[in-house]
Structure 1
Amino acid sequence: MKKKSTAKKVLLTILGVLLALVIVLVGTVYAVWHDEITTLLSFQQVTQRDESHKDGSVYVLNVSGGYHFDEFLAQGGASNDTELISFITNSITKGIIPMSIKTSEIACSAFTADTADGDRVFGRNYDFHETNTVIVYTNPGNGRHASYSTVDLQFLGLDSTKDVTTFGQKILTLAAPFAPLDGVNDAGVACGIFMSYQGGEKVAATNQQTDKPDLTSTTMLRMILDYADSVEEAVELVEKYDLHDSAKTSFHYMIADSTGKSAILEWVSDSSDDDADGANRHLNVIWNDADPLSGATDWQMITNFIITPDYYTADANKPGLDRYELLRDRLAELNGVVADEEAAMGLLDAVSRRDWGNPGDSNSLTIHSAVYNLTDKTVLWVGNEHYGEEGYTFRFSLNK
Structure 2
Amino acid sequence: MLHSQGHDNASVQAGRRGKGIVGRVIAVLAGVCLAAAGAVLLMFGGELKTLGTIEKIDEYPLYTMDYAADYGLDEFLEQGGASNDAELIDFVVGRLLKGLPIKIELPNLACSTFNAKTPEGEALFGRNFDLEFSPGMMVRTTPKDGYASISMVNLAFIGYGEDKLPDDFASSIVSLAAPFAPLDGVNEKGLAVGVLLIDTEATHQQTERVDITTTTAIRLMLDRCATVDEAVELLSSYDMHASGNRCYHFQIADASGKSVVVEYIDNEMRLVEPSEEGYQAATNFLLTPGEYDFGGGQDRYETVMGVLDASDGVMTEAEAMDTLQSVSREVKIKDNGEVFQTQWSVVYNLDRASATVCMGGKYDELHEITVARQ
TM-score (norm 1): 0.86
Aligned residue for 1:376, secondary structure, equals coil
Structure 2 distance, partners of 1:174, 1:256, is 27
Equivalent runs, 1:205-244 vs 2, <5 Å: 205-244=202-241
CA separation in 1, counterparts of 2:99 and 2:39? 15
| Higher mean displacement: 303-312 or 179-188 | 303-312
Secondary structure class of the residue paired with 2:245: coil
> Is 2:325 the partner of 1:349?
yes
Deviations 1:47-72 (A, max 9, x none): 22xxxxxx4x2111000133111211
Equivalent residue, structure 2, for 1:318 = 295
Cα deviation, residue 211, structure 1: 1.2
The one-letter code of the counterpart of 1:349 is: Q
Judge conservation of contact 2:150–2:185 (CA < 8 Å) in 1.
yes
> Is the CA contact (8 Å cut-off) linking 1:154 and 1:160 kept in structure 2?
no
Contact 1:131 / 1:161 at 8 angstroms: preserved in 2? no
Other-structure match for 2:6: none
The letter for the 2-side match of 1:130 is F
Report the secondary structure of 1:247's partner residue.
Answer: helix
Structure 1 partner of 2:268: 282
* 1:115 has 2:112 as partner: no
Structure 1 unmatched ranges of 5 or more? 49-54, 200-204, 270-280, 290-295
Which of 133, 144, 154 aligns to 1:152? It is: 154
Q: Contact 1:302–1:324 at 8 Å: present in 2 too?
A: yes
Matched, 1:183 2:181: no
2:272 is aligned with what amino acid? I
Range that drifts further, 73-82 or 323-332: 73-82
Q: Are the equivalent residues in 2 in contact too, given 1:123–1:345 (CA < 8 A)?
A: yes
Residue 19 of structure 1, aligned match among 7, 21, 30: 30
Per the alignment, residue 79 of structure 2 pairs with 75
Match of 1:378 in 2: 354
The 3 A distance-change label for structure 1 pair 72 and 363 is farther
1:301 equivalenced with 2:281 (yes/no) = yes
SS at match of 2:244: coil
| Residue aligning to 1:253 | 250
* CA radius of gyration, larger in: 2
Counterpart amino acid of 1:113? A
**1:169 aligned to 2:171?**
yes
Q: Name 1:64's counterpart in structure 2.
A: 68
Aligned residues of 1:125 and 1:348 also touching (Cα < 8 A): yes
Deviations 1:365-388 (A, max 9, x none): 111111111122221111111112
The root-mean-square deviation of aligned C-alpha atoms, in Å, is 1.9
Q: What's the CA shift for 1:288?
A: 1.5
Partner of 2:50: 39
State the Cα distance separating 1:283 from its structure 2 match: 0.6
**Structure-1 separation of matches of 2:292 and 2:265:** 12
Question: Deviation of residue 247 (structure 1)?
Answer: 1.5
Distance 1:328 1:8 in 2: 83
Deviation at residue 359 of structure 1 after TM alignment: 6.9
Partner of 1:275: none
Classify the secondary structure of the residue corresponding to 1:210.
coil
1:90 aligned residue: 94
Tell me the CA shift for residue 352 of structure 1: 0.8
Aligned to 2:363: 387
* CA apart distance, 1:258: 1.1
1:363 deviation in Å? 7.6
CA distance in 1, matches of 2:75, 2:236: 20
Any idea what SS the aligned residue of 1:46 has? strand
- Of 340, 344, 348 in structure 2, the residue corresponding to residue 368 of structure 1 is 344
* Aligned position for 1:293: none
Shift of 1:397: 2.3
Letter in 1 for 2:188: D
Aligned residue type for 2:67? V
Residue identity opposite 1:171 in structure 2: I
Contact 1:261–1:287 (CA under 8 A) maintained in structure 2: no
Contact 2:53–2:65, Cα closer than 8 Å, also in 1: yes
Q: Secondary structure at the match of 2:324?
A: helix
Does structure 1 conserve the Cα–Cα contact (< 8 Å) formed by 2:149 and 2:223? Answer: yes
Higher mean alpha-carbon deviation, 215-224 vs 132-141, is at 132-141
Following superposition, the deviation at residue 312 of structure 1 comes to 4.2
TM-score by length of 2: 0.92
Residue 399 (structure 1) shift: 4.5
Q: What CA distance in whole angstroms lies between the structure 2 residues aligned with 1:137 and 1:96?
A: 24
Q: Distance in 1 between matches of 2:333 and 2:167?
A: 33
| 1:151-173 per-position Cα deviation (integer Å, ceiling 9, x unaligned) | 00111122344432343321110
SS in 1 for 2:278: coil
How has the CA–CA distance of structure 1 residues 27 and 104 changed in structure 2, closer, same or farther, with 3 Å as cutoff?
same
Per-residue deviation at 1:206? 1.1
Aligned match of 2:128 in 115, 125, 131?
A: 125
1:334 to 311, 325, 341: 311
How big is each residue's C-alpha offset from its partner over 1:345-374, in whole Å with a ceiling of 9 and x where there is no partner?
11001111126x797697831111111111
Of 138, 143, 161, 2:141 maps to: 138
Query: Counterpart amino acid of 1:283?
Result: M
